[in-house]
C-alpha cells in the first residue's frame, strides 16, 4: 500500500514536519491547499508552498481544495509534483485536467463524500488519480465516513471492467482502526495518525 502523508496537523512547524516526513519511507507528501472559499479553512498560498516544499525530497501529491485552481496549477508545477488534484465539484474540470497534463504531471480528481461517483464518469478514461474523500474536506483529524469506502470499491471494479488506469486514493480518517476496510485503495493519505505520533516511520509501517 502506498502512503502519502498530510502535514496539516502536527505538533511541529511546517518545515520541521516536512523534514520528518522526508526521513521516512513514505511514498509522497500530500499537500492540502485550501483557499477559504471552496472550503472555509485557509492553508498555504503558492508562495508559502514554494518556500516550504522546494527542498522536499519526496514527490508531492497536491490536493487543491480551491475555487480557482488554474493559477495554483501553474505556480506549483515548478515543484517536484507527482499528482495534481482538483475537485470534481468545480464547474468545468476538463480544461484543468488538460492543463495539468500539458505540464507533464499526473492529473487527479477528488470527490466529496456527498457527491455520487457518476459525476466522475466522463473523466474516468482521462485521469491518473482519484482522491475519494473519506471526510468532509477542510480539516485534518476527522473520523472516516464509512460509506465513502463503497466508492473506493466501486471505482476499482469500474477500472477492471474498462481498463482504466487511474490509481485510487482514500483521503481522511485513515488510522489503524480504519485500515482493514481500505484494502481496495492503491494509496492512502494519512495526516494526524502519522504526524501527531511519536514515531512517523513506525506509524507508516503499521499502515502498510
Number of residues engaging ligand DX5 in binding (CB under 6 A): 22
- Who contacts 199 (Cβ-Cβ below 8 Å, separation ≥6)? none
CB contact at 8 A, 24 and 200? yes
* Gap between the Cα atoms of 112 and 89, Å rounded: 8
Residue reference for cell 466501486 = 154
Among 64, 69, 128, 173, binds ligand DX5 (CB under 6 A): 173
Task: Tell me how many helices (H) and strands (E) the chain has.
Answer: 7, 8
The Cα 176–Cα 119 span in angstroms is 30
178 binds ligand DX5 (CB under 6 A): no
Pull the grid cell for residue 47: 508562495
H or E segment to which residue 180 belongs: none
User: How many residues bind to Zn ion according to rule CB under 5 A?
Assistant: 3
- Residue among 80, 126, 141, 154 that touches ligand DX5 (CB under 6 A): 141
Count Cβ atoms within 10 A of the Cβ of residue 77 and give its class: 0-12 exposed, 13-18 middle, 19 or more buried.
middle
Q: What does 85 bind: Zn ion, ligand DX5, none (CB cut-off 5 to 8 Å by kind)?
A: none
Considering the rule CB under 6 A, would residue 30 count as an interface residue with ligand DX5?
yes
Query: 81 is in the binding site of which of Zn ion, ligand DX5, none (Cβ under 5 to 8 A by kind)?
Result: none
Q: Which helix (H) or strand (E) holds 145?
A: none
To the query of whether residue 128 is one of the catalytic residues in this protein, the response is no
Among 27, 32, 61, 167, binds ligand DX5 (CB under 6 A): 32
Site residues for Zn ion, 158-177, by CB under 5 A, read 171
Catalytic-role residue among 45, 61, 171, 186: 171
Least distance in Å: CB of 160 to Zn ion?
A: 26
Chain positions contacting ligand DX5, by CB under 6 A: 6, 8-9, 30, 32, 63, 135, 137-142, 171-174, 189-193
Chain positions contacting Zn ion, by CB under 5 A: 32, 63, 171
Amino acid at each position: 500500500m502506498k502512503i502519502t502523508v498530510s502535514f496539516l496537523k502536527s505538533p511541529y512547524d511546517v518545515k520541521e514536519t516536512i523534514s520528518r516526513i522526508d526521513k521516512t519511507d513514505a511514498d509522497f507528501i500530500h499537500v492540502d491547499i485550501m483557499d477559504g472559499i471552496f472550503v472555509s479553512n485557509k492553508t498555504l498560498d503558492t508562495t508559502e508552498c514554494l518556500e516550504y516544499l522546494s527542498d522536499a525530497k519526496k514527490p508531492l501529491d497536491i490536493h487543491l481544495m480551491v475555487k480557482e485552481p488554474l493559477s495554483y496549477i501553474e505556480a506549483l508545477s515548478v515543484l517536484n509534483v507527482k499528482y495534481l488534484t482538483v475537485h470534481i465539484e468545480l464547474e468545468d474540470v476538463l480544461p484543468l485536467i488538460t492543463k495539468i497534463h500539458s505540464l507533464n504531471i499526473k492529473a487527479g480528481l477528488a470527490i466529496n463524500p456527498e457527491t455520487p461517483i457518476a459525476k466522475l464518469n466522463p473523466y474516468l478514461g482521462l485521469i491518473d488519480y482519484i482522491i475519494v474523500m473519506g471526510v468532509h474536506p477542510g480539516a485534518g483529524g476527522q473520523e472516516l465516513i464509512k460509506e465513502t469506502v463503497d466508492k473506493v470499491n466501486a471505482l476499482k471494479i469500474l477500472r477492471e471492467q474498462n481498463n482504466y488506469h487511474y490509481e485510487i486514493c482514500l483521503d481522511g480518517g485513515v488510522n489503524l482502526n480504519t485500515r482493514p476496510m481500505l484494502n481496495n485503495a492503491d494509496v492512502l493519505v494519512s495526516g494526524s495518525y502519522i504526524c501527531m505520533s511519536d514515531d512517523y516511520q513506525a506509524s507508516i509501517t503499521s499502515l502498510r
